[in-house]
Structures are given as structure tokens and as C-alpha cells.
Amino acid sequence: MRNLTAAWILMCCAMGHSAVSIAQVPPPDEAGRAQLAKMRARQQNLPDTPGTGAFPALKEEVASLPNHVVYRPARLASLGTTKLGVYVFGNGGCSDDGASSRLHLLEIASHGYLVIAPGRILSGPGTAPPPATPPPTQNGAPPVLEARTSYKDLLSALDWALAQNTDPMSPYYRRIDAKAIAVSGYSCGGVQALHIAADPRIKTMVVMNSGLFNAGATNMPEMNIPKEALKSLHTPTLYLLGGATDIAYPNGSDDVKRIDNVPVFFANLRGAGHGGSYWEPNGGKAAAVVVAWLNWQLRGDARAARQFLGKDCGLCDDPAWEVQKKRID
């Protein structure tokens, strides 16, 4: 996804410069549309991967949680005494394709997490390709973007997971650690995650290629959240961005500057752009950082903590990353 038809892709992910309305971003030309179609075809044909963790993962839709996609270890019995953490994830563009970040989500699940994204399985092997990018309106303005999911879908996913843990008829009965809850999201989905940051059940936040707008209207309702919402954060928070070319960089980095009431780790993957590493094998570098963060924050894993703690932290010494920390050490 990196470096492809940047303006339009970023617009469709509903992120913009803090001083620029998304409506100002022009649609791609014919060559750009062809490039976007090629990118989509490549993503469509990528196989699902089981992840690199100890518990090879799968994705599925389940009848008891309509309009969501569940990612989990394929063999729950293999967990033994390991309890599942929960990772609820908002999709890029607030789309209803719960498989739109599937390589990232399968990787997280393979490390012993129950991962839930809103929507249905609308991309990947065996599914229909996503709809074509809508053409500009007759007056030349880009089409109005539509949020096909809501922050409320993240809450319903969390409610479902915790209910499953106490239901003797559920395959997740007593397999979930109700105190190990993370909420995350990509781009517009990251804003959805921030929308529910005050929920007391949440133990950590992961905001990916996202941030709240400083000023200027957006044309997607799910993103009309003021900067004051950052005050509702009550848990350690990880921000992951894709360098200066990530259209979310101005907003996300500004969020980090403003947050002063909780520990924040800012990890900026140089040159990744807004597409991050979602479509790299097993979710790439960003997924590995998220796994380490979850293992530290939700499981107290001292080895994982070394990626973030101290002046010589693992990410601090990795030239791929720009790091900032507040109240972490």
C-alpha cells in the first residue's frame, strides 16, 4: 500500500493535514486509478498468514457477533493456561471490511489474543474484490466519504468478548483475561478507538496512522471528535505513525504533544507513509511493535518492555524508528 496513489488513498482512509479539509484532496488521474486497482488486486490475492506467534491464527465470522470479524488462535485448546487478551480494532476509512488489515490482525491473534474488527470479510482469497473507487461528483469535487462502521461497533465487540468469557456454552469460556483489554485502530478507525478511550475496561490504547484534527471540517462523521477527547485517556497509549509522508503525521504527532495525563510512546516508522506495514508479511514492523506493547502492557512481559524502556530501548536503537516518550521511563 506504500507510496500508491497517495492523495486518493489517504483521502479514502479519511485522514488529512490538520489545516486542510479532506474535500480538498483531488481524485487520482487515470494512471493513479490503474495503480490503485493493481494494489487492490495484489492485496486481494495475498493469502492469509497464521502469524509468527505460538498459536497459529485464523479469521472467521461468528453468528453470535454479527457484522464483525473475529481473529483467534486456530486451536483454542493449544492455549493451555494462557489467557487470551482482547484487541478490538477499528478499520481504516471506518470501512465495513473487517479483513482490510487481516495480516496485521492475524499476527496479533497468533500471540494469544482475541482480535475483533467491525464489518464482514470483504477482501482476501475467496471474496469479491472491493468496489471501485467512486468517481468525482459532477462538479469535480470528490465524493462524500461514508463511515460504514461506528465506534459503537468497538464497544459491542468488547461487550461480546467479555460475555463469552462467562458463558459456559462458549468456546471462550474462562479463556479470556478480562483485565487485558486493548483498543486500537487504523486511520479513521484510530479515531473510533479514541472515541471510546474513557471506557474503564480498557487497559491500553494503540493509535495507528491516526490522530484528531486540530481544525477544519471533515466529511466523515466518525472523525468529528475534538482534541479535548484526549483528556479522556486513562491508560498507557502507543501512537504508531508512518513518517513525515503519513498524512496522519501532523494530527498524530500533535496528539502526542498534547497528552500529558498518561504515559505515551510515539513510534514513527520512517518512510512508511499512511499505509504503514499492514500489507507486509505478518503485518511487518508495526505489528511486531504492537505485539511487544501488548505483551508488556497486558501481560507484564519484561522482555517485551525492553523495546520501550530506557535510553537504549530496542526501538530507540533501531534506525527504522523515530521515538518519543512521555512518562514511559
Is pLDDT at 14 greater than 70 in this prediction?
no
Mean pLDDT score, 52-60: 98
Between 32-46, 128-142, 274-288, the lowest mean confidence (pLDDT) is in 128-142
Q: Give one DSSP letter per residue of 193-230, joined into a string.
A: HHHTTT-TT--EEEEES----SSS--S-GGG---GGGG
Q: Are 195 and 207 in contact (CB under 8 A)?
A: no
pLDDT at 146: 63
Q: What confidence category does residue 3 fall into, taking pLDDT thresholds of 50, 70 and 90?
A: very low
Greater model confidence, 206 or 19: 206
Percent of the chain beyond pLDDT 70? Answer: 82
* Three-class SS state of 20: coil
For the cut 70, the answer to whether the pLDDT of residue 16 exceeds it is no
What pLDDT sits at residue 22? 38
For residues 225 and 253, the answer to whether their CB atoms sit within 8 Å is: no
Give the lowest-confidence range in 54-68, 113-127, 192-206.
Answer: 113-127
Of 44-53, 54-63, 74-83, 117-126, the range with the lowest mean pLDDT is: 117-126
The pLDDT of residue 151 is 95
User: CA dihedral in degrees (217, 220, 225, 226; nearest 10)?
Assistant: -10
Closest residue by Cα to residue 108 from 47, 185, 37, 31: 185
3-class SS at 90?
strand
- Mean pLDDT, range 310-320, rounded to an integer: 97
Local confidence band at 184 (pLDDT 50, 70, 90 cut-offs): very high
- More confidently predicted of 127 and 133: 127
pLDDT-derived band at 27 (thresholds 50, 70, 90) equals low
Lowest mean pLDDT among 43-47, 139-143, 245-249, 256-260: 139-143
pLDDT, average across residues 11-23: 36
CB 87 within 8 A of CB 182: yes
Q: How many CA atoms lie within 13 A of 44 on its CB side?
A: 13
Helix (H, G, I), strand (E, B) or coil at 139: coil
